[in-house]
Amino acid sequence: MKSREFVTLIKQTGKWEMIENVKNLYQTLAKREKTFCEAFDVHCKACCGSCCECFNPDITDAEATYLAYGIIKENKEEQVLAKCKDYRGKACPLYAKDIFCSLYPYRPLICRLFNCAVSNGKNGEPQFRHCKWSGEIGEIPSTELQKQRRKLVSMEEFGMRMDECNHETESTALIQDILPEKIEHLLYLCDNLKNNT
């Protein structure tokens, strides 16, 4: 199915609201990430991607639906389905050595939170530790974080907001297990619509 036709059809299905909600959440996160990284001088190393070499994200229904949408829109479904089927390694199945993330604009939430989000300590205090591959060392002191609390990106907050995008289930699955099913489902919905109009 051609990309433009797919986008036209998917907008008419019940999945479009979920796709839009996830996209809006990621746009909000991107703005907040920029503010946080500027305020605390946090940077990923250019062209790094080491986080994807030994990580395989466990993702929700909504994250997988948004990824599947991006994969079909970019006409990469055959390539991704083959990678999922043959998956053996410990790197993320979407990782490619030359370009790092092969679906970067559609990547899951956890990948967007790397090296920009704080988590809550045991007394609710914000905690942030630089990614070990970023070239920066250690934690930003909690007192510094608290001084600019409004500029923080919270893992807990974005995790909860992603849960709100998940209408049907809160369970998660590894990319190679969930993506084939999601890709096939979105294509099935679009084919159905096409054949009935």
Please report, as ranges, the residues that interact with ligand SF4 according to CB under 6 A: 44-45, 48-52, 55, 57, 92, 94-95, 101, 107-108, 111, 114-115, 131, 133-134
Q: How far is the CB of 53 from ligand SF4 (least distance, A)?
A: 8
CB 154 within 8 A of CB 118: yes
Closest CA to 114 of 155, 165, 152: 155
Of 19 and 111, CB closest to ligand SF4: 111
Using the minimum distance from each CB to ligand SF4, give the nearer residue, 106 or 190.
Answer: 106
CB of 165 to ligand SF4, least distance (A): 17
Q: Smaller CB distance to ligand SF4: residue 71 or 190?
A: 71
Q: How far is the CB of 9 from ligand SF4 (least distance, A)?
A: 25
Nearer to ligand SF4, 16 or 100 (CB): 100
